Amino acid sequence: MYHNQFPYIRLRRNRKSQFIRDLVEENQINVTDLVYPIFIVDGYEREEPILSLPSHVRVSVDRLLYVAEKCVMLGIRAIAIFPMIETSKDDLLALESNNPEGLVPRAVRALKARFPELGVFTDVALDAYTHDGHDGISNENGEVLNDVTNALLIKQALVHAEAGADFVCPSDMMDGRIGAIRNAFEENDFRDTGILAYSAKYVSNFYGPFREATGAVSNLGKFGKKTYQLNPANSDEAFHEAALDIAEGADIIMVKPGLPYLDVLYRIKTEFKKPTAAYHVSGEYAMLKAAAQNGWVNYDKAILETMLCFKRAGADIIWSYAALEVATLLKQL
């Protein structure tokens, strides 16, 4: 196609100065693309460092409001909250997950009272509430029970919706849970509550710091989460998962992790053209931080490049532990 076109076609002409590079830039990062994940704990005036997530702490609800205020001041429009539940509240049936006075509903109500304009996403899964750390209810043989789990996820989602969550985010990868929650919302007058589905959630080694942050136990049995999370070798399967979630009523679909699965993100966004999120997960964030601490990369430049890669691959929304840093850097550009 391009044979014998040189020297008439010289693509470097559009790279020679900043103004033209800006004019022809195909993708841009905006602060409104970002969602900031925050870890919460019970108590008052609590801040607990998370060693594997530099610059991050678990916060009690009163301290959560200070973090939310920083987000608002920087222009971040939404946050996602993840609880660390006291082990005394874990049980075989994850009953604390649907307690209307539990940690997450209380946090949502406090956020909405103080910052009504701030979007709040809540995690719908049982791993924070079960003895074994699985995202669902297990039987005596260690098998995660899909339909039993769905019944509890419905209750959890309704509690979050009642508290005022803008979006509930089923991250459990149980079959049929999006349709079940959407039907429950319709029947209980929560038609305007959104569902962000973790449609392509892979069984990944990049979640380690997150599990420390939530205090998730690791008694997962010999199969771990392989019986319900996606095999990293598969992309067709992720495509089918996204199609099902969309058909069942998901408003936004997500790919998790982010950078190792940009091909999946691109394919899903290109095919479905639905609002699509990418989760820049804890291990991805921690690796950049570790490299920067060793002087191997320029963190500021590397994190902006990372965000741009998500946008180029098709992400409309980026969940990232670097959201506050990215928002600050964008103000400096």
Question: Which positions are annotated as active-site residues?
Answer: 201, 256
How are beta strands 57-59 and 47-49 bridged, if at all? antiparallel
Task: Tell me how far apart the alpha carbons of residues 78 and 169 are, in angstroms, rounded to a whole number.
Answer: 13
Which regions of the chain does DSSP assign to beta strands (E)?
34-41, 47-49, 57-59, 78-84, 119-124, 167-170, 194-201, 252-256, 276-280, 317-320
Q: Which residues contact 160 (CB under 8 A, 6 or more apart)?
A: 104, 105, 108, 122, 124, 168
Task: Tell me how far apart the alpha carbons of residues 221 and 132 are, in angstroms, rounded to a whole number.
Answer: 8
Burial (CB < 10 A; 0-12, 13-18, 19+), residue 145, is: middle
Task: Tell me how far apart the alpha carbons of residues 59 and 44 are, in angstroms, rounded to a whole number.
Answer: 9
Tokens of 56: 């991050």
Q: Give the SS3 label for residue 323.
A: helix
How many CA atoms lie within 13 Å of 203's alpha carbon, on the beta-carbon side? 14
| C-alpha torsion sign, points 153, 187, 37, 267 | positive
Residue type (1 letter), 21:
R
Q: Which ranges in 115-204 belong to alpha helices (H)?
A: 146-163, 177-187
Task: Tell me how far apart the alpha carbons of residues 87 and 93 are, in angstroms, rounded to a whole number.
Answer: 14
Task: Tell me how far apart the alpha carbons of residues 263 and 309 are, in angstroms, rounded to a whole number.
Answer: 11
Contact 72, 101 (CB under 8 A): no
